[in-house]
Amino acid sequence: MTRVLVIDDAQADRRLLRDALQADGFEVEEAEDGQEGLRKLFADHPDAIVLDVLMPGMDGWAVCERIREFTDTPVIMLTSLDREEEIVKGLELGADDFVSKPVSPRQLIARVKAVLRRSHSHTEEPEEFRYDDGALIVDTAQHEVLLNGQPVELSPTEFRLLVALAAAPGRVHEYTSLLGSVWGEEYVDDIDFLRVYIWRLRKKLEEVPNDPRRIVTERGFGYRFVRSS
């Protein structure tokens, strides 16, 4: 049985998430603060973690940072402030996903299944693909990205997003299409999530991220990947 650890100081929220997850077949462990959550993580080795951001004492940011020091267990953060700002901060600390409060149990279950599916897919053999425009090389067989001969470090999700874009240079990739193909159908309305990842790619691949030449926004539609000439 797949085990999920819920770390949240609000008892009512923990109960809501526990009941929903258990009804869907998950085994659930609970922790009411960050320290207890870390102890249960060490002891029980859950398959996924649902982590509230706003907790007294050790907040969710500190807990996520500590988690990433020793495990790549998927972490879904529960956010309630400026969501895009929190996504940026969470990704920098190693979070995998974000769900806004108040939480929809159905949405949370879908996102837990999605992060588990993506974490398992990391070990699968990727479909072979190579892009080379003389400046940028994207090679799935070697799982590497080179820009002007220098390696570019990307997270697994950033790599999947870049492959999706580079697979069809010049084509406009609609928001929903990218979200569905890279993250899953559970994410097709989460445009702010995609926007943050596009910004992260631009910072790593563009000479001037605020004036992108390679990953171009088609306002109201999506993004277009431009082959370097």
| pTM confidence score | 0.84
Q: Are strands 222-225 and 172-174 parallel, antiparallel or unpaired?
A: antiparallel
Lowest-pLDDT choice from 11-15, 80-84, 184-188: 80-84
Which has the closest alpha carbon to 98: 106, 88, 130? 88
Write the single-letter amino acid at 109: I
Q: State the DSSP code for 143.
A: T
Whole-angstrom Cα distance, residue 206 to residue 209?
A: 5
Q: What are phi and psi of 75, to 5 degrees?
A: -120, 125
User: Collapsing DSSP states into helix, strand and coil, what is residue 30?
Assistant: strand
CA 186 to the chain's CA centroid: 13
| All domains in the chain, ordered by first residue | 3-121 (3.40.50.2300), 130-225 (1.10.10.10)
Residue-wise burial string across 120-138, b where 16 or more C-beta atoms lie within 10 A, e elsewhere: eeeeeeeeeeebeeeebbb
Give residue-wise pLDDT tens across range 139-153: 998 989 999 999 999
Write the single-letter amino acid at 159: F
Give residue-wise pLDDT tens across range 24-62: 999 999 999 999 999 999 999 999 999 999 999 999 999
What average pLDDT score do residues 158-171 get? 94
Band of residue 215 on the pLDDT scale cut at 50, 70, 90: very high
pLDDT tops 70 at residue 103:
yes
State both tokens at 162: 């870049």
